[in-house]
Chains A and B, each alone.
Chain A
Amino acid sequence: MRKQLMKGNEAIVRSAILAGCRAFYGYPITPASEITEAAAEFLPRVGGVFLQAESEVAAINMLYGASSAGVRAMTASSGPGISLMQEGISYMAGAELPCVIADITRGGPGLGNIAAEQSDYHQVVKGGGNGSYHTLVLAPSSAQEMADLTALAFELADRYRNPVVVLADGFVGQMMEPVEFPQRATAPQTPAWAVTGTAESRGNLITSLHMGSDELEAHIQHLESKYRRAEREETRAEDWRTGDAEIVLVGYGIVGRILKAVTAEARADGIPVGLLRPITLYPFPTGNFQRLVPRARVFLVVEMSNGQLAEDVRLALNGARPVEFFGRMGGNVPSHAEVLALVRRLARQYGVVMEREEERMAHV
């Protein structure tokens, strides 16, 4: 496979098509429009459907239709559009319909601005629609991961019959990096539950309606069992230099990349720092956090939002270690320098053993 320089947003569409996506319903919004534009270019050429809907409300309900008909389908949007889609996402989770939604986040609340933020965490990871449900959420931090996790998203969506969100910030969507693609396109089988307008599928029914209270409770418990299975089998995270880390930096998406640079710089200073980058935000990689507890003194969560990820980190650690938070918002990005300064302060505050000090002590 050869690498080509490509924007993350463009990589998503190509990867989706290779993964068998044949329906894309979208509505333009900065900074996700490249995805919709690339879909408009390529879907019709591979025998798929592309349609620009009249709203995000319509777009997600069109996904509901395409998915009901047994076709791999996706859409892309950003915060305000994702808010409008929550109705359809809840219906799809309830009706057990797979789909992939790319959320290239921007500033909020409301119109906010179009700079990169990570403030969609709650509405995506906690499920912004009504009812007891989850979306599975994957958080790429590079153009290559935009491609790889989109392909994975389609697999997971079908495996769990549930919407999967690829949650990326405007930076990851807009930046170009070398990307390589599998050289084979997959042709997924039409699922047996789909309604396809054939004698075989005539008895099928897609609905999220369960009138009896026991019937609905049983349905929710069935959904819950899928989520428990996802929690056992699908959590993913990048552990980087965490083996001996006393300060664990935590961040996803573009922040994960920044924290990697900070880790290297802090290590050069002799501070034993590591990075834990959640790749699945739901299911949350709780195990990866708990494994670091014996060695870690403190976890520092860095976000481009107001402590939304930090809440999940606190839940994952359940009080075992202190969780510090640093966030920038509005399109501001946590700089290496400010995070590094914070790491140094935490190293002093939490009595982190500096490697150089250890060396010095050894020589005394």
Chain B
Amino acid sequence: MSSELISEYEVIHAKPKAFYETYERKDELQHQTHYCPGCGHGTIHKMLAQAMDEFGIKDRTILISPVGCSVFAYYYFDVGNVQAAHGRASAVATAVKRSRPESIVISYQGDGDLAAIGSAEILHAANRGEPIAVIFVNNAIYSMTGGQFAPTTLIGQKSTTTPSGRSAIHEGYPLHVSELLATLEAPMYIERVGLGDNRQIAQASRAIRRAVENQVRGLGFSFIEVLSPCPTIWRLSPVESQRWVREVMEKTYPLGVFRDRTKDAQPRPTPQEPPALDAIPQIIGVADADVTEHSAIRHEPVTDVDLHVRVAGFGGQGVLLLGEVLAEAGLDAGLEVSWLPSYGPEMRSGTSNCHVRLSREPIDSPLVTAPNVLVAMNEPSLKKFDKSVQAGGWVIYNGDAFPPECVRKDVHVLALPFTQIADALGDARAANMVMLGALLEIAGALPQTSVDAALARLVKNPRFFELDERALARGRELYRESVREVCHAG
């Protein structure tokens, strides 16, 4: 009998389809929400669900729920649900939307969550104009944790952590988030609404619908602040709570539209199709076809090499490049190599050094603490590192004469005014390559083709390439001349 009766009715105001029929993620009372009587969340949820129904976006919607009473929004909304850390919903929403631009992303946050701990995240999401909808539920208090002060708490309003009421001197003033965000260029739509009476509720519903529509249309960042009653924490009846919204909260937080650029807005461009998988190694510069074939494949690898090189000098002398050319040339010649720069404060204090190893065997440590070749491009570097050079090793020094405290009897020395020599070649900055030329001649290890190949990879400017080639040749020559001099002297 009763079922027949019901079948005669046409249902006009049904529960929105974007809600679950029963709330099975809840432990108990699966036919009703966990919100208190008179709480605004239920009303706002319904507005949001109705908008989802209207635009037919249930399948596309991803709802980001916050920490607070609405943490359980996923009990109710039959959409994709992601629950975020306290205050971070708009950061989470940012990334969801960017990776799934076709989805409708709604970030739902309370005032403790958004205006306090999440103030940075909302400010920057708004400033980037993330094309998401943010529903900001402002009840001027932390409700779920039991009624503590929030940045939105009104002047004089008591909370468990402002027991004698918020004082402007002690806690500052209520934070006007909508007005604050409206100072930014990027937001598309910002409105504050209330749930103080039926007229306000009707406007709130229109505003929330608008925010959803903006995203469906592919427009930018939409932000709806809702002044929402919390009878339990406010210790007021539901009816008194609505009146408090209307007569007290609204005085601090005036309702209205703070930003509307939707009329002139164009939908955001759709992202480009990603490239084919096959193209990716080439795009990121690791395709074999684009990596230079090393001449070691063409030549016999060099015989016996175990270079531990430390290069040091002022920033700007080309210390790192010298090391890099050496390492590249070694790789080209089929050797094991490593290059390790000094970085950070050392770089910024104006001195620079790097460690280079070349060996036929796999490199154990890339750190060169006891070099067998030290290239010292200035006096401080010589003083810093000369004692570390292995006995029988080489010091190549950019200067005519060694400072007296640096003279060692157990190392070979090539000390020449390399900067002046490079200057004579056309550019003092090529001193590093003159010194490298000398080093290569001393080590006698690397084929010229490998050095040329390394230089070509690292020095793209033809003028500098040509200069560096001459500088390298000059360095080799200088070493050979010095040997002859030693022989003559001997």
- Which B residues between 67 and 125 are near A, CB-CB below 8 angstroms? 71, 74, 78-85, 88, 91-96, 98-100, 102-105, 120-121, 123-124
CA distance A171 to B342 in the complex (A): 9
**B98-A51 in contact (CB<8A):** yes
Question: At the interface with chain B, which of A1-9, A120-128, A221-229?
Answer: A1-9
Please give the distance in Å from B367's CB to the nearest CB on chain A.
6
What mask results when residues 214 to 237 of chain B are scored 1 for a CB within 8 Å of chain A, else 0? 000000000000000000000000
CA distance A68 to B345 in the complex (A): 39
When C-beta atoms are compared, the residue in chain B nearest to A275 turns out to be B364
**B281-A181 in contact (CB<8A):** yes
- Which A residues between 278 and 297 are near B, CB-CB below 8 angstroms? none
What mask results when residues 163 to 190 of chain A are scored 1 for a CB within 8 Å of chain B, else 0? 0000000110011111001011111000
A252 at interface, CB cutoff 8 A:
no
Known: A62-B91, A196-B103. A18 touches B338 (CB 8 A): no
What mask results when residues 196 to 230 of chain A are scored 1 for a CB within 8 Å of chain B, else 0? 11110110111111011000000000000000000
Select which of A5, A23, A254 is within 8 A of B337 by beta carbon: A5
**B82-A206 in contact (CB<8A):** yes
Please give the distance in Å from B246's CB to the nearest CB on chain A.
34
**A333-B367 in contact (CB<8A):** yes
**A68-B96 in contact (CB<8A):** yes
CA distance A114 to B285 in the complex (A): 29
A46 at interface, CB cutoff 8 A:
yes
What mask results when residues 171 to 207 of chain B are scored 1 for a CB within 8 Å of chain A, else 0? 0000000000000000000000000000000000000
A135 at interface, CB cutoff 8 A:
no
A66 at interface, CB cutoff 8 A:
yes
B288 at interface, CB cutoff 8 A:
yes
A318 at interface, CB cutoff 8 A:
no
B384 at interface, CB cutoff 8 A:
no
**Hey, which chain B residues are within 8 Å of A176, CB to CB?**
324, 327, 338-340
**Hey, which chain A residues are within 8 Å of B338, CB to CB?**
175-177
**A195-B285 in contact (CB<8A):** no
Interface-centre pick from A1, A4, A61, A212 (highest chain B CB count, 10 A): A61
CA distance A115 to B79 in the complex (A): 48
- Which A residues between 43 and 91 are near B, CB-CB below 8 angstroms? 45-49, 51, 53-55, 57-58, 61-66, 68-71, 73, 87-88, 91
CA distance A263 to B213 in the complex (A): 68
**Hey, which chain B residues are within 8 Å of A45, CB to CB?**
275, 283-284
B10 at interface, CB cutoff 8 A:
no
**Hey, which chain A residues are within 8 Å of B278, CB to CB?**
185
A17 at interface, CB cutoff 8 A:
yes
Interface-centre pick from B83, B103, B123, B337 (highest chain A CB count, 10 A): B83
Report the contact-size class of chain A (Cβ under 8 Å from the partner).
35 or more
B407 at interface, CB cutoff 8 A:
no
- Which A residues between 3 and 36 are near B, CB-CB below 8 angstroms? 3-5, 13-14, 17-18, 22-23, 25, 30-31
**B99-A18 in contact (CB<8A):** no
**Hey, which chain B residues are within 8 Å of A205, CB to CB?**
25, 74, 81-83
**A195-B85 in contact (CB<8A):** no
Interface-centre pick from A42, A65, A181, A204 (highest chain B CB count, 10 A): A65
**A202-B91 in contact (CB<8A):** no
Please give the distance in Å from B40's CB to the nearest CB on chain A.
22
A236 at interface, CB cutoff 8 A:
no
**Hey, which chain B residues are within 8 Å of A175, CB to CB?**
338-341, 366
CA distance A63 to B59 in the complex (A): 23
**B78-A202 in contact (CB<8A):** yes
**Hey, which chain B residues are within 8 Å of A254, CB to CB?**
366-367
A352 at interface, CB cutoff 8 A:
no
**B343-A62 in contact (CB<8A):** no
Known: A55-B120, A61-B88, A206-B81. A177 touches B339 (CB 8 A): yes
A336 at interface, CB cutoff 8 A:
yes
**A65-B95 in contact (CB<8A):** yes
**Hey, which chain B residues are within 8 Å of A31, CB to CB?**
343-344
**Hey, which chain B residues are within 8 Å of A206, CB to CB?**
81-83
**Hey, which chain B residues are within 8 Å of A58, CB to CB?**
88, 91, 120-121, 124
B11 at interface, CB cutoff 8 A:
no
Select which of B60, B84, B96, B284 is within 8 A of A17 by beta carbon: B284
B406 at interface, CB cutoff 8 A:
no
**Hey, which chain B residues are within 8 Å of A341, CB to CB?**
none
Please give the distance in Å from B215's CB to the nearest CB on chain A.
12
CA distance A174 to B27 in the complex (A): 53
**B71-A209 in contact (CB<8A):** yes
**B285-A30 in contact (CB<8A):** no
**Hey, which chain A residues are within 8 Å of B466, CB to CB?**
none
CA distance A114 to B324 in the complex (A): 23
B62 at interface, CB cutoff 8 A:
yes
Please give the distance in Å from A9's CB to the nearest CB on chain B.
11
**A195-B274 in contact (CB<8A):** no
**Hey, which chain B residues are within 8 Å of A18, CB to CB?**
280-281, 284, 286
**Hey, which chain A residues are within 8 Å of B287, CB to CB?**
183
**B84-A174 in contact (CB<8A):** no
**Hey, which chain A residues are within 8 Å of B120, CB to CB?**
54-55, 57-58
What mask results when residues 85 to 122 of chain A are scored 1 for a CB within 8 Å of chain B, else 0? 00110010001000000000000000001110000000
A132 at interface, CB cutoff 8 A:
no
**A42-B365 in contact (CB<8A):** no
B369 at interface, CB cutoff 8 A:
yes
What mask results when residues 283 to 306 of chain B are scored 1 for a CB within 8 Å of chain A, else 0? 111111001111000000000000
**A202-B339 in contact (CB<8A):** no
**Hey, which chain A residues are within 8 Å of B405, CB to CB?**
none
**Hey, which chain A residues are within 8 Å of B485, CB to CB?**
none
When C-beta atoms are compared, the residue in chain B nearest to A212 turns out to be B27
Interface-centre pick from B85, B93, B102, B277 (highest chain A CB count, 10 A): B85
CA distance A69 to B92 in the complex (A): 10
B317 at interface, CB cutoff 8 A:
no
**Hey, which chain A residues are within 8 Å of B292, CB to CB?**
2, 4
Known: A4-B291, A69-B96. A14 touches B284 (CB 8 A): yes
Known: A45-B275, A175-B366. A202 touches B83 (CB 8 A): no
A337 at interface, CB cutoff 8 A:
yes
Please give the distance in Å from A26's CB to the nearest CB on chain B.
12
**Hey, which chain A residues are within 8 Å of B27, CB to CB?**
211-212
When C-beta atoms are compared, the residue in chain A nearest to B93 turns out to be A65
- Which A residues between 295 and 324 are near B, CB-CB below 8 angstroms? none
CA distance A270 to B246 in the complex (A): 88
**B83-A336 in contact (CB<8A):** no
Known: A61-B121, A257-B366. A42 touches B284 (CB 8 A): yes
Q: A68-B96, A197-B104, A206-B81 given; name 8 further pairs at CB < 8 Å.
A: A47-B272, A65-B84, A66-B98, A171-B340, A183-B281, A204-B81, A205-B74, A257-B364
Interface pairs (19), CB distance under 8 Å: A5-B327, A5-B328, A31-B343, A42-B284, A47-B274, A61-B85, A64-B91, A69-B103, A70-B99, A114-B343, A115-B344, A183-B287, A202-B80, A205-B25, A205-B82, A207-B74, A211-B27, A254-B367, A258-B365
The 6 closest A-B pairs by CB, nearest first: A47-B274, A197-B103, A65-B95, A207-B83, A195-B80, A65-B92
